[in-house]
Amino acid sequence: MLGWIIRIIIILIILRLLWRMIMGPMRRPRAERKNGKKSMPLVRDPVCGTYLLPDRAVKVGSGDDTLYFCSETCRATYHDRQP
């Protein structure tokens, strides 16, 4: 009797592993499902090339002419290079 129970448990474990292998790539990551957070586009600093979130950038200009810098130093460097 104990042998059958062990066999059933092993079969269930194998089925569970197969199910996760098949359905795993089709599922969204748990954190994304739970928090509902979406990705945010990054902007590139024209001086040093660092990618950063627009919310944390030093901004110059407005609309489509907005430039994003990672620091005041990069902003100053950019303005020093302009003719």
Q: In terms of pTM, does the model score above 0.85?
A: no
At residue 63, the pLDDT reads 83
What does the pLDDT look like over 48-77, one tens digit per residue? 999 999 999 999 988 888 999 999 999 999
12 is written with which tokens?
Answer: 């269930």
**Domains in the chain: boundaries:** 1-37, 40-83
Q: What is the DSSP string of 21-62?
A: HHHGGGSPPHHHHHH-------EE-TTT--EE-GGGSEEES-
What does the pLDDT look like over 5-48, one tens digit per residue? 999 999 999 999 998 888 776 666 665 555 656 677 899 999 99
In angstroms, the CA 19 to CA 55 distance is 41
At residue 65, the pLDDT reads 87
In angstroms, the CA 30 to CA 53 distance is 23
